[in-house]
Structure 1
Amino acid sequence: MYNKYQRIVLDSFADFKEIKIATLSTADGYSLAGLIEEGRVKDLRKVAYWSIVIGDILDRLLWRIRPYEKEAGMADEFIEGVMHRMEDVFERYGKDKDLNRIMEALDQIIMEGKEIINPEIPAKPKIGIVGEIYVRSHVHANQNIIKVLERYGAEVVNASISEWVNYTTYDRFRETKIGLRLSLKQWKLKKAREYIKDMLHYRSELFYQEMMQDKIYKRARSALDITEDHKVGHLEEILKQEDTFAFDVGTEACLSIPSIINYVREGFNGVVNVYPFTCMPSTITSAVIRPIVADMKVPYLDAPYDSSVQPGREAAIRTFMYQAFQHFKRNGRPS
């Protein structure tokens, strides 16, 4: 809607009618068509996806080393510096799609990050975060909940940005399969051919994304035991096994619900659902998952945010972390 209004405004000025507007949307899997020259779209999408995955890895590197840092503040200062180093690396090697040089820089960063860890600090309860992608990922929107959890003794893993990017591609692939089945039932063969073309496009795109994600994580994890990411298809399988929700409904609820179950199966000591106040998908997640995690005897916390300071929030987190420590003492934690 915004880009339509912007188009009207620009067209009202004679000099601006030729200016193109492109909008990135989940409707087409964040296609870049119209944003840059057609011949460069595929290369830019590839390098942009690498940057998203590597950004996720830098986040997971921070969450892995900060709870065990030798001196307070070392990890944050380190990550702030290496983030700008990676920017320079992508500017230098991204245009040539030189992933090896980019990965060499990442290897060096991870090895430097390992030196921040104090090996004498014992392992801490491991907490997983799910929720609405913006609020869970934006430290100001969620009032730095990861740091607050760490302050009370947690090691935290947040859901990745690439999970959502992969989901949009996966969902487009599912939709084209449904459309193909319907068009074949109705004998709309021309429409069926279009769906087959789209289905092959989204399937190949998803295959590439998952392949590159696996490749980058495998190399990063060979240097340090950061938490690996999951495939979206695996989350749908969990929903089918548990019969609790369906991907047909969509929204981040179909990611958050199975992700929570997956965290529990992997031995996490607690899960936090972070979302904007009144967010319907996350409210659905809470309603569906609460009885499940209660049966699994794993601590769970809803953390809605509306930009206001909530005086009871830290008390709730302290209580949650006490429960997580009890779970940790009884069950240990994943490696």
Structure 2
Amino acid sequence: SDNTTKKMYYKGLRTVAADNLCLPAKVANGHIFDLINKKVDRIFYPSIVFEEKVGEDAKNTYNCPIVTGYGEILKRNIKSDIPIDSFAMSFNYMPGVKHNAYEYLKEYGITKSQVGGAIKFGMEVEYKSIELRKNLAKDIIKKAKAEDKPLIILLGRPYHLDPMINTGIMDLIYDLGAYAISEDSIPDIDKMNLEGVLPLTQWSYHNRLYLAAKWIINQDYNKVAALQLNSFGCGPDAVVVDEVKTIVESGGKVYISIKIDEMSNLGAAKIRIRSLLEALNQNKSFNIKPRIYTKEFTKSDKKKTILVPYFAKMYSELLEPVFYHLGYNFVTLYHQSNEAVDEGLKYVNNDMCYPAIVVIGDLIKALKSGKYNPDETVVALSQTNGQCRASNYVPLLKKALIDAGFFNTPVISLSSDSFKQGFTFNPAKFLKYTVILFTIADGIICMKLKTKPFEINKGETITLVNKLLEQLYSDAYYKPPTKKYLQKFMKYAVAEFNKIPVKNKPVKKKIGIVGEIYLKSNCFSNNYLVEWLEERGYEVVLPSYTKYFEYGFYSRVYSAKERITEPDKTKLTTGAINHLTIEHYRKLVEKELKNFNRYKKEVLISEALQHKNEPLPQYLQFGEGWLLPLEISEMVKDGVRDVISLQPFGCISNHIVAKGTYRQLKNKYNTNLLLLDYDSGTSEVNTTNRLELFLSNN
């Protein structure tokens, strides 16, 4: 395609799936139209899941979800007879690259040896190009020092090399009499490590920015500074920008950032850059801001109170007895409020997704309340290890605690990395207790959803749910749950639900709810949406909570099978054990649920995948990934044509898996689909109006 222009950008704008996507993604639509106008035969737009490793101790090598999934979204939102070819590959696993490239190219008569030779040649050319850039950068660094001129390290992504996207920043710096190099040209950066970096070092391009920041503070030249470019709507930058700034300023160096979108011009940037250069030329001294870290969790902290933010009714309550039997005192912060959101906004980057602001705000509010001694308290937060920003909730919590003055309060992550922090327990017991209680909770929620809209005596269903939860909570504290207990309790619960008098007439509609796991499950964050719908006579259909835990297992199996990642036998085995455990106890719950008067079996992931009709490929595994549109398709097959998808405003995963598939799902399944964004400033009136309009559609 041609060089990027504003005209090209505007040409593709009408097919952009979300207004708050970053500028580079929007520009990609224009490039596709440029290629269509050239009447090419095919368009090649691969999905790159993993990059090469950057930083010898990096935790992972992901790309941003938008980078990985955008090819799939382009072909779903741009109508053309020219096919857009998008298959997955990862540069951290070259055997997979060769295999998948060959699978794509073999229909054109290209052999395996040709593919292998081409890849080898391409990599050699790339490495020579990198070496050339680094040698040029060495010369520029020497010149800057020799001439006593400012040296600006331009921090950004590969797309910031595009003159239209960077608005000519590099030329401007040189015009103002300074030297500049981009962070990918820094010599010897590949020999550095990421020690001391607070966020999870899982995105390759972001790891390069952290290393560049560390390189800057190691320079004894006082006229070197960092200038970071970031795009409006860039999800990962809500994590990265603050960390790069902290690293640079911890070494007494200067940092500025410039946000770029389609409306940007050089006027404001010119003023800021000129001020930066003037300060550097005057040899001003800049304050060193030493880094502070939170206290590490050790065995001596085991008996402390562990505060956990509230997640969802039934499930949050039942985690307390699980950890009680594992030797920990978990205290859940049940009462969520707008005050907690205000605290979150003070200490979390406001571009971060809404769930992070809520849960971190809850914990900060609790520590400020005076009810808990920060020095005798531990805070805990669940954390994924996937591609989306939820993987960085724990580092964001640590930063918030430091900024709020609670750096003596240890943080533990309720994730697979917890054992590395000294937070240890028997994993087999944890798995068994949690799955038993959560599958029981799934069963109770299932019966509640199928009873409340039909109840004759208003409030009877909720009274029963609360009674069952209280008993389950009490029993689980008294004695660890067992298979026998599950069977006995479910028999009792089914019998109790069957006693509730119900109307025989059908409900107005069945409304399906899918979306980001926290927002979908947390009543406070979604403004009590399920209750709002039920009070108006609608039956709500929700996927079971334990289904989400299985999603990771199926994703890992797919990635290994399709050679997107190198198979990890340990993780595959652990995932299989978790999956089989969930399956075992779910079948026991299902057996008892068959006696429930309004029983309807939920379609399992394994069954849905056998339908061979998934709207998105399984390599899109960020957030709710391929599972979200698959759940919508299964709901529609089951007669639920009205579906609401909930997502945090600016959620980069949902730009792909929800907004990106919106047109496809509506057209293919004739679905009445509503996408609801939530954040701290969400207007309840606006949300209600959108819901009323959605429900009025036939």
TM-score by length of 2: 0.39
Partner letter of residue 313 of structure 1? T
Q: 1:124: Cα distance to partner? A: 4.0
8 Å Cα contact 2:507/2:538 also seen in 1: no
Q: Is the 8 A contact 2:299 2:423 kept in 1?
A: no
**Matching residue's letter, 1:264:** V
How many correspondences in the alignment? 303
1:155 is aligned, of 536, 539, 549, to 539
2:552 and 2:565 map into 1 onto residues whose CA distance is: 21
AA of the residue aligned to 1:246? P
- Correspondence for 1:225: 598
2:617 is aligned with what amino acid? A
Q: How does 1:200-279 map to 2 (within 5 A)?
A: 200-237=573-610, 240-242=612-614, 244-251=615-622, 252-279=624-651
- Residue segments in structure 1 that go unaligned for 5+ positions in a row: 184-191, 327-335
Deviation at 1:82, TM superposition (A): 1.3
CA contact (8 A) 2:448 2:465 kept: yes
Residues 248-270 of structure 1: CA deviation (Å, up to 9, x unaligned): 12121311111100100111131
Instruction: Classify the secondary structure of the residue corresponding to 1:304.
Output: strand
Shift of residue 93 of structure 1?
4.1
Cα gap change, 1:182 to 1:256, in 2 (>3 Å): closer
Aligned residues of 1:128 and 1:158 also touching (Cα < 8 A): yes
In structure 2, how many angstroms separate the alpha carbons of the residues matched to 1:27 and 1:170?
A: 15
The one of 670, 677, 680 equivalent to 1:304 is 677
* Matched position secondary structure for 1:303: strand
Q: Judge conservation of contact 2:433–2:482 (CA < 8 Å) in 1.
A: no
Alpha-carbon distance, 1:157 to partner = 1.4
TM-aligned CA distance change 1:102 to 1:209, over 3 Å? closer
Question: How far does residue 76 in structure 1 lie from its aligned partner after superposition?
Answer: 1.8
Q: In the alignment, which residue of structure 1 is the partner of 2:469?
A: 83
SS of residue paired to 1:321: helix
Equivalent runs, 1:1-335 vs 2, <5 Å: 9-10=294-295, 19=301, 25-27=383-385, 30-31=415-416, 33=419, 35-37=423-425, 40-94=426-480, 97-177=481-561, 195-237=568-610, 240-242=612-614, 244-251=615-622, 252-284=624-656, 285-307=658-680, 308-323=682-697, 326=698
**Alpha-carbon contact 1:236-1:247 (below 8 Å) kept:** no
Tell me the distance in 1 between the aligned counterparts of 2:647 and 2:477: 34
- Residues 227 and 293 from structure 1, CA distance in 2 versus in 1: closer, same or farther, beyond 3 angstroms? farther
Give SS of 1:110's match: helix
CA offset digits 1:284-312 (Å, max 9, x no partner): 21331333233422321112111433323
Q: What amino acid does structure 1 have at the position aligned with 2:542?
A: N
Contact 1:93 1:101 in 2 (8 A): no
Partners of 1:264 and 1:116 in 2: how far apart?
29
Q: Which residue identity is paired with 1:89?
A: D
Cα distance in 1 for partners of 2:640, 2:447 equals 18
Higher RCO by CA contacts (8 Å cutoff, separation 6 or greater): 1
Between 1:115-124 and 1:261-270, the stretch displaced more is 115-124
What's the CA shift string for 1:276-333, capped at 9, x where partnerless? 112122232133133323342232111211143332322322232233xx4xxxxxxx
Aligned-partner SS, 2:602: coil
Partner residue of 1:330?
none
Residue identity in the other structure for 1:322: S
Q: Deviation digits for residues 220-256 of structure 1, max 9, x if unmatched?
A: 2322434433333344455x535x4222121213111
Would the alpha carbon gap of residues 249 and 182 (structure 1) be closer, same or farther in structure 2, given more than 3 Å must change?
closer
Displacement after TM superposition at 1:85 (Å): 0.8
Task: Pick closer, same or farther for the CA change 1:36–1:199 going to 2, 3 Å.
Answer: same
Higher-Rg structure is 2
The 1-side partners of 2:451 and 2:445 are apart by 10
The residue type equivalent to 1:231 in the other structure is L
Is the Cα–Cα contact under 8 Å of residues 440 and 486 in structure 2 kept in the other structure? no
Provide the secondary structure at the position in 1 that maps to 2:450: helix
1:3 CA displacement = 9.9
Instruction: Report % sequence identity.
Output: 20
Query: Cα 1:136–1:23, aligned 2, differ >3 Å: closer, same or farther?
Result: closer
Deviation at 1:88, TM superposition (A): 1.8
Q: Structure 1 residue 134: deviation in Å?
A: 0.2
Task: State how far apart, in whole Å, the 2-side matches of 1:82 and 1:275 are.
Answer: 30
Question: CA separation of 1:207/1:98 partners in 2, compared to 1, >3 Å: closer, same or farther?
Answer: closer
Give ranges in structure 2 of 5+ residues lacking alignment.
1-197, 202-291, 303-377, 387-413
SS in 1 for 2:613: helix
Change (3 A) 1:120 1:159: closer
Equivalent residue of 1:143, what SS?
A: coil
